[in-house]
Structure formats: C-alpha cells, structure tokens
Structure 1
Amino acid sequence: MAPQKTIPPAAWAGLFTMGGLWGCSFLSVAILIRELPVFWIVAGRVSIAALVLWSYVLIKGFPLPAFSRYLWRFILVGCLTSAVPFLLISWAQHHIPSGLAGILNASTAIFGVLFAALIFADEKLGLRKGTGVLLGVMGIVIIIGLEALRSFDLTSLGQLAMIGATMCYGLSNCVGRILLSDLRPEVAAAGMLAGASLFALPAAFLVDGPPPLALLPETWGALLYLAVMSTSLTYIIYYKVIQLAGAGNTSLTTLIVAPVSIALGALVLGESLSLQAYLGFGLIALGLLVIDGRVLSRLRGQNPA
C-alpha cells in the first residue's frame, strides 16, 4: 500500500478551518433546540445548504448529471450522510451536553474504517486498523458507561443517538463511494443535500407542522451558520483538502472538532463534562492515530502503510 500523503500547509489550514466550523456546529444546535423542533432544524439546515452548494456548482460550471438516473441515489445517500444523522444529533443534544456530542462525533472515522473493511475487498482491517477500531470502541464504552446502558435513561439514549449518527456517517461514505463515485465531488455533495431536503422537508411538515418563523435573531443566526458555514462551506473545503492531502489525512479533522465543541460548550453554555468523557475521547483519539499509522511508523522509523 502507498504511504500516506504528507500534509502541505494549505491542507493544514483547511483541516483546522473545518475542525473549527464543525466544532461550532454543536453550539449552533444547542441554540436551535431552544426554539425549533428537531425536524425543522434538519430541514432548514439541508435545504439552505443545498441552495448554497448548488449555486456554487452552477457558478463554477461543473458538468451536471442526468437527474432521472441519480435522483434515488441522491435521496438514499443524502438521508444517510445528512438527514438522518442531523436528526439524531439534534435529538441527542436535548439530552446530552454539546461538548459530549462533539466527543462522540469523533468516532465517525472509527466506524468509517470498520464499514469500509466489511464492504470493500481492498479495505482490509489488518492488525493496525483493527487495533485502532478496538481502541475507539473501548473509548465509546467508557464514555457511555455500562451503568448508563443498564439504566437506559434519556441521557444514555442521547449518547446512543450520537453513536447512531456517526454510524450513518461511516456507512454513507461507503454507499456514496458505490453510488456516486462517477460524479464530481462537489456535484455529488450538492445532490446529496438536495436528496436530503426531499426527505426532510415533507417529514418536518408531517411531524411538526408548518415551520415557526417568529424566531429570535440568535436562532436565525445559528441556523444560517449551521447551513452555510458548517455544511456548505465545509463540503467545499473538505474536497479541496482531499485533493491536497488525501482522504486518510482529511479524517484527522475529527480530532479538532471535539476540543472546539468542548471549549465552546464550557465557555458559552457553562457545560462541564465527566472525567470518563475525557478518558473515552483520549482512547478514541489514540485509536484514530493508530489507524492513521504515522505516529507508530515514525516511532519505528518506517513509512506508514
């Protein structure tokens, strides 16, 4: 297997920008759930983001696909990568702190590696990746706690909802690779958000009725930030960083998201997290570094494979 790409300065800038933007998204959701039902949070986020990203695609003049052929693919992948995980995250944050949601979000890359190994013949788990996945799962178990699972209260359900969201993210990467790999990434992302909107908007009307529009300015600001900055802009940056540094390096941004979400939760919302949450995040972060391979390889004086 080819060695990992080195990360140029422009890619590092993109990684930290994405980490910051995504890390702030958990604070935005915490603000939104004070006034908006979760289905309208999701519907607003994906529909506004779809409009912004399609505008970018049209301005750049990227070739467009035959929509009759790709419509069901956009809806399926859009639900997996956006609508369902966004819904789970918004519901989860009614019951757990935003910083804890950011920590659990770091397991996205763990599940991505696991699902890829199960689905693709060229993505074997191997000893190193298997060890990283095991460390990540141990971190999740420590964060949630066996006692919480036995009690099965709303807090534990909120944590499980976050894990469900990260599993959706991990699986959606594989499904998108199968169904949308022949499209330009920006077009695929715009199509996925449009597909997510086709699911989320009717679902929001059905479950929560017409959208509440008499919202506080901070709520509108949080929604626009979530849609434009944390969704549309991060998609654009994400694919630029992949071009510069490769998909494996890009997954390291999850290590930046959690500290940002923890800091904002503490400074803005007055949250405090348990010691086991930090210990669990440490294991998840260690698992991601083991999967990445560079730290171990440098210790051995070898190139990561």
Structure 2
Amino acid sequence: MSTQKSISSRAWAEMLLLAAIWGASFLSIRIALDEVGPLTAVAHRVGWAALALWVVVWLMRLPVPRDPKIWLGFLGMGVLNNVIPFALMSWGQLHIETGLTSILNAATAIFGVIMAALFFADERITARKAIGVGLGFAGVAMAIGLENLRSFDLRSLAQLAVIGGTISYALASVWARKRLAGQPPQVAAAGMVTGSTLIMLPLAWMVEGPLTLNLQTDTMVAIGYYALIGTALAYLLYYRVLAMAGSGNLMLVTLLIPPFAIVLGGLVLQETLRAAAYGGFALLALGLLVLDGRIWRLFPARAR
C-alpha cells in the first residue's frame, strides 16, 4: 500500500493558490487570443517566463549547466512540456470553453500513468491504476461527448487537440525523469522555457508574423499574467508545494484547477458548459482519487 505525506495547512493554502493561478491562466490566454494568434501567445508566454526565471536563477546564484547533453534535455523538455501542449491547447481554446479545456487538461495524470508504465519497469499497471485510468477515460469521453465526434467539426478537433496536449505533458514527465534528474528545479524550469523560446519565436514569426508589443491593454495584461504569474511564478510555486506535500498529494492540484477556470470563464466570458462536462469531470476526479490512493484505502485489503 502506498504512503503519502500528510498535508499541512500551509501546503493546502499553497496548493489552492497554485490551482487558482493556473485556473486563471486559461482565462488570460483566451483573452489574449482575441488579438494574437495561438503561436504568438505561446511565444510571449515562454519568452517572458524565461527572462523571469533566469533572473531567479541569478539571484539564487545557482550554477548554470555547461554540458550540451543537459541543454539537449532542456530543449526536449521544452518541446514536450511547452511547445506542443501550449500550442495545441491555445488553438483549442479558440473553439471550446476555457472551463472545458481545464477539465480535459486534468487528464494529464491519467496519461502520465500509462506513459510511465510503457517506459519504466517499476511503474507497472496495478489493479488500482487500471481502475483509476478506466474511470479517467470514461470521464474524458463523457466530457467530450462521443456523439459530438460524429460530425467532427472544429469544436471536436479542438477537444482532441487539448487531449493531444495532455499526452505531450505525460511524455514530458517521462523525458524529465530520463534526462533531467538531479537538476535544480529553478534551473530546469528556466532551461526548459528557454528551449521553448528558441523554437517558438521563429515559428510564431513565420506562421503568424512579427511579434509586437503594440497591443491593447487587456491583451498586454493577459500576456503578463499568464507568462510571469501563470508560468514563471507557477513553476516555482509548484516545486515548493511538491517539496511540502509530495508528488502523490500534488495530484490534487489537478482537481482544483477546473473549478477556478469554470467560474472565471462563466463570470468574465459568460461561458456555460453542458451537464455532461460536469459529469465527465466528476468521473475524471474519481479516477484521479483512485490513482492517488485515497479512495482505494477506504476498502479493506481483503476486499481489494
């Protein structure tokens, strides 16, 4: 039976803060997309976040890696954890609600279990994991509404794009374990978004045109929020919470993000979600709690 750290009140507070920051990021990205393209939105996100994180590394006087293999690891992590998922999800948000995007994003942990089992011998699929993954897939299917895929319109494609982003996140966790073990989290985060920036700046320029700061005030505020707070600060806070609560408990943040995104999307953008989306989130949340082990431990060992 797995063991977990108990969660202190401070850890709970910082988990809620992290969930609120990331939940609001979905709203700020959607606001920016009213004026800039999805690739440009991502280029701003990783570019400004990289500058902020290197300032943190400098202030903390952390050593900067010189091994080219480590920088290749940063580049690969940037592709899997930023370039692909950020671009797919930003484009997806043009066609689906921010709240639904956040619900589908919660499937990252489900795909993470599968990828870990595929790539690591010590991460085999147990009965608990199989049940959790099954519930998670059922929740994703309900949230998307498989009947909606029959027409396969832009909305359907956007939902699949977001799911593609979650699969990329899951692959990023595998990459990090194989290539970035032992790096200080601040340096790893800075290196990762730097690698992302090296790809996104020319890509956004070629596809959507030159980047400019001659943007509306709302757009600039949104970019500033999701780049500096929703990315740079959130990464630093993530590693603080990880140290305090442990990786098992940190999965709870995934469940706390959608309520913030759904409420903000409703209040600011007047978005409404289908009842099936809420039912899908409930099933997905149940699956994540089974993976987390909390619900599993409620049943006697003999029954399990």
Tell me, yes or no, whether TM beats 0.5. yes
Indicate the larger mover: 125-134 or 208-217. 208-217
Q: What are the equivalent positions in structure 2 for 1:238-253 lying under 5 Å apart?
A: 238-253=238-253
Q: Return the letter of the residue paired with 1:294.
A: R
- Who is 1:47 aligned against? 47
Q: CA deviation at 1:2?
A: 4.7
2:125 & 2:16 partners in 1: Cα distance?
28
1:101 & 1:67 partners in 2: Cα distance?
37
> Is the CA contact (8 Å cut-off) linking 2:38 and 2:91 kept in structure 1?
yes
Q: CA deviation at 1:67?
A: 4.9
Q: CA deviation at 1:10?
A: 1.9
- Who is 1:157 aligned against? 157
Indicate the larger mover: 63-72 or 108-117. 63-72
> Is the CA contact (8 Å cut-off) linking 2:2 and 2:293 kept in structure 1?
no
> Is the CA contact (8 Å cut-off) linking 2:7 and 2:245 kept in structure 1?
yes
1:61 counterpart = 2:52: no
1:132 & 1:147 partners in 2: Cα distance?
24
Q: CA deviation at 1:296?
A: 2.8
Q: Return the letter of the residue paired with 2:299.
A: R
Cα distance 1:290–1:70, how it changes in 2: closer, same or farther (>3 A)? same
> Is the CA contact (8 Å cut-off) linking 1:36 and 1:212 kept in structure 2?
no
Q: Return the letter of the residue paired with 1:237.
A: L
Q: CA deviation at 1:9?
A: 1.8
Runs of 4+ more than 6 Å apart = none
> Is the CA contact (8 Å cut-off) linking 2:290 and 2:296 kept in structure 1?
yes
Cα distance 1:84–1:216, how it changes in 2: closer, same or farther (>3 A)? same
Q: Return the letter of the residue paired with 1:228.
A: L
- Who is 2:130 aligned against? 130
Secondary structure class of the residue paired with 1:5: coil
* Cα deviation digits, residues 56-94 of structure 1 (max 9, x gap): 011011222115332222111101101111101110011
Secondary structure class of the residue paired with 2:181: coil
Q: What are the equivalent positions in structure 2 for 1:68-217 lying under 5 Å apart?
A: 68-217=68-217
Q: CA deviation at 1:233?
A: 0.7
Q: CA deviation at 1:265?
A: 0.6
Secondary structure class of the residue paired with 2:64: coil
Secondary structure class of the residue paired with 2:233: helix
2:58 & 2:133 partners in 1: Cα distance?
40
Q: CA deviation at 1:7?
A: 1.2
Secondary structure class of the residue paired with 1:294: coil
* Cα deviation digits, residues 169-192 of structure 1 (max 9, x gap): 111011111000121121111100
2:222 & 2:293 partners in 1: Cα distance?
37
> Is the CA contact (8 Å cut-off) linking 2:47 and 2:197 kept in structure 1?
yes
Q: What are the equivalent positions in structure 2 for 1:281-300 lying under 5 Å apart?
A: 281-297=281-297, 299-300=298-299
- Who is 1:270 aligned against? 270
2:296 & 2:126 partners in 1: Cα distance?
15
Secondary structure class of the residue paired with 1:123: coil
TM-score (norm 1): 0.96
> Is the CA contact (8 Å cut-off) linking 2:43 and 2:200 kept in structure 1?
yes
5+ residue gaps in structure 1? none
Q: Return the letter of the residue paired with 1:193.
A: V
Indicate the larger mover: 209-218 or 26-35. 209-218
Secondary structure class of the residue paired with 1:151: coil
2:167 & 2:86 partners in 1: Cα distance?
12
Identity of aligned residues (%): 48
> Is the CA contact (8 Å cut-off) linking 1:139 and 1:281 kept in structure 2?
yes
1:251 & 1:300 partners in 2: Cα distance?
21
* Cα deviation digits, residues 226-253 of structure 1 (max 9, x gap): 0011101111111111111111211210
Q: CA deviation at 1:300?
A: 3.2
* RMSD of Structure 2 on Structure 1 (CA): 1.3
1:39 & 1:205 partners in 2: Cα distance?
9
TM-score (norm 2): 0.96
Secondary structure class of the residue paired with 1:66: coil
> Is the CA contact (8 Å cut-off) linking 1:14 and 1:237 kept in structure 2?
yes
1:67 & 1:50 partners in 2: Cα distance?
19
